[in-house]
Amino acid sequence: MNNLQENVDDYLRHCQIERGLSNNTCIAYRQDLTNFLIFLKKEKITSWPTKAIDIDAFLAELRDENKATSSISRMISSLRKFYQWLVRQHIQKLNPMQEIDSPKKQHLLPVALSVKEVTTLLEQPDINKKLGIRDRALLETLYATGIRVSELINLKFTDLHTDLGLLKVFGKGSKERLIPISEVAISWIEKYQKEVRDGLLLSVGKYNDYIFLNNRGGSLTRQAVWQIIKHYCQTAQIQKNVTPHTLRHTFATHLLENGADLRVVQEILGHTDISTTQIYTNLSQKHILEVYSKTHPRI
């Protein structure tokens, strides 16, 4: 077993010095290989396994411990690279990792808020305060359009066509698209502009064409918007794992639940591949089943 530990130490020195890998990567490799050594010691295996069945037994134990698929994938990757090094160093002749497949990635459904949760969230900002008006306008815009946070912070007033109820958005790869925006969201943007934004720019003596600004008249950052959303989710006592994309997911899910065409939702979201949009159909199908079970007289 001492020889095995020496091999691991030599490999990690090789990773750090010769390959120039980061400390974090080397720490991850050490952790994975140490766990593998613990397994070998427990199984009284004194040399590096040459049969895939032994590696599979180790991976099965990780699954029994309910390790995440991502953790098991990382372990397989670590062992694969390590065994390649063992073969190059002529420590091993056989590489059992060639017979080990990585687990399929888990496609987790995005979190979406219910209509009641969205309503509660939108009502959280204190509209008696200037920042509260801005935050209400910001949240209403995100939910009304499904745009990304990065798209929101780059919105300019020249992108807003109130007479047509349309918003011009520059998405990934600077691709431009025109999408609908609700009258409710427009009214809150206009209220924010008249009662807060214009006066703010006058007081700081700046000009800024971006719609949503911080309290110093500068542009908002993605991190700032994320903190705003996180704060109001906490005050609304929403228990779900909310991310900056949650309102985008919610927007798409609610459209599909109410009968929107998948291609239309794809166009609004700016997805180049419809398969990216199709993940939301799983959420809407769940809603359909719930409605069916509640409303069908023979259930």
Q: Is 161 a catalytic residue?
A: no
Cα distance between residue 43 and residue 91, in whole Å:
21
Cα distance between residue 171 and residue 159, in whole Å:
13
Q: What one-character DSSP code corresponds to residue 14?
A: I
Q: Is 271 a catalytic residue?
A: yes
Residue 170 burial by CB count (10 A; 0-12/13-18/19+): exposed, middle or buried? middle
C-alpha pair distances (Å), 80 with each of 52, 73, 74, 77, 272: 12, 10, 10, 5, 34
Q: Which one of the listed residues 172, 206, 230, 231 is annotated catalytic?
A: 172
Collapsing DSSP to helix, strand or coil, 210 comes out as strand
Q: Is 143 a catalytic residue?
A: no
What is the predicted pLDDT for the residue at 184? 96
What is the predicted pLDDT for the residue at 274? 81
Q: Is 172 a catalytic residue?
A: yes
Q: Which one of the listed residues 11, 29, 134, 148 is annotated catalytic?
A: 148
Q: What is the CATH architecture assignment of 2-99?
A: Orthogonal Bundle (1.10)
For the domain bounded by 115-295, which CATH number is listed? 1.10.443.10
Alpha-helix runs per DSSP H in 162-237: 183-192, 198-204, 222-235
Per-residue pLDDT of the chain in tens (299 residues, 90 and over written 9): 568 999 999 999 999 998 888 888 899 999 999 999 999 998 889 999 999 988 988 998 888 888 888 888 899 999 999 999 999 999 999 999 998 887 765 556 678 899 999 999 999 999 999 999 999 999 999 999 999 998 999 999 999 999 999 999 988 767 889 999 999 999 999 999 999 999 999 898 888 899 999 999 999 988 899 999 999 999 999 998 888 788 999 999 999 888 888 888 889 998 887 877 877 776 556 665 665 677 656 65
All structural domains of the chain with their residue ranges: 2-99, 115-295
Q: Which one of the listed residues 136, 197, 248, 249 is annotated catalytic?
A: 248
